[in-house]
């Protein structure tokens, strides 16, 4: 299969919502981050939570960038283990979970999104133990999630115009996919220059309220990474580096 990105998907796409395009902070999601699951809440606490959510929606503006790359699922990492490579970048995604997520995909939408340094400054200004900081942290988490979801929907819609289906959003740190790919992901998206996203020496994103993610794009039906793969019908069967090592990508 040719490892090229269709012309309509090749260019980086910036996400810079404003006005009515800004995502809505999901209050229920925010409450889940705070540990609520339907319990009664005092009206004063509810008022404070609403005030912080309003503040975040008013004063923080998410920014993101996404780009589509071809998937190379027959490559290996520096240790010779099977890995997903994104063609034209130095990104190498390790681990069985991301391998199963992308092995049957022709393309991968790589995305990064951040709430920016203002969120970081405000979170650092508070004391970790204060209720206000805890609530602000939850609100920022819910808001960045809403922004990434908006980017996700846009990416899916763009892919659908070319007849491509998309699986779910996967991030480094899920399952056995290490965070070590973060610096190369940020670099591949030029996200430092475009949206001010950086990575710490321990591979954490900075600003901390930031997300990077990968979505697989498929010519046919979506491959569900949660379904146990079958070598018998796998397109990688002939050159499979797992099988060459006497194992499989599903650990059997």
Q: What is the DSSP letter of 235?
A: T
CB of 252 to ligand SF4, least distance (A): 8
- Closer CB to ligand SF4, residue 65 or residue 249? 249
Distances (CA, A) of 7 to 4, 68, 238: 9, 10, 29
CB of 248 to ligand SF4, least distance (A): 4
- Closer CB to ligand SF4, residue 5 or residue 240? 240
Chain residues that interact with ligand SF4, rule: CB under 6 A: 103, 229, 231, 234, 236-237, 240, 242-243, 248-249
Region for residue 225 given its phi and psi (left: phi exceeds 0; alpha: psi -120 to 50; beta: otherwise)? alpha
- Cα angle 85-87-91, degrees, rounded to a multiple of 5: 45
- Closer CB to ligand SF4, residue 70 or residue 234? 234
- Closer CB to ligand SF4, residue 107 or residue 249? 249
CB of 234 to ligand SF4, least distance (A): 3
CB of 214 to ligand SF4, least distance (A): 17
Which residues 6+ apart lie within 8 Å of 106 measured at CB? 1, 70, 71, 164, 217, 218, 219
């Amino acid at each position: 299969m040719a490892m090229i990105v269709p012309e309509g998907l090749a260019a980086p796409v910036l996400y810079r919502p404003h006005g009515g395009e800004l995502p809505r902070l999901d209050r229920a999601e925010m409450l889940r981050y705070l540990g609520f699951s339907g319990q009664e809440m005092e009206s004063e606490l509810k008022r404070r939570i609403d005030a912080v959510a309003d503040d975040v929606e008013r004063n923080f503006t998410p920014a993101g960038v996404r780009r589509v790359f071809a998937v190379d699922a027959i490559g290996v990492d520096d240790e010779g283990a099977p890995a997903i490579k994104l063609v034209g970048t130095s990104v190498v995604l390790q681990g069985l979970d991301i391998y199963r997520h992308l092995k049957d995909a022709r393309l991968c939408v790589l995305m990064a999104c951040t709430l920016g340094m203002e969120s970081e400054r405000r979170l650092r200004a508070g004391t970790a133990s204060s209720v206000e900081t805890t609530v602000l942290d939850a609100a920022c988490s819910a808001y960045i999630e809403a922004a990434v979801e908006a980017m996700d929907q846009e990416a899916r819609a763009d892919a659908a115009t070319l007849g491509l289906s998309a699986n779910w959003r996967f991030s480094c740190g899920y399952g056995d996919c290490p965070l070590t790919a973060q610096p190369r992901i940020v670099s591949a998206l030029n996200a430092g220059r475009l949206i001010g996203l950086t990575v710490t020496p321990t591979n954490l994103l900075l600003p901390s309220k930031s997300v990077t993610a990968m979505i697989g794009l498929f010519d046919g039906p979506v491959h569900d990474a949660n379904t146990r793969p079958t070598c018998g019908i796998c397109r990688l069967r002939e050159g499979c580096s797992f099988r060459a090592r006497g194992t499989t990508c599903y650990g059997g």
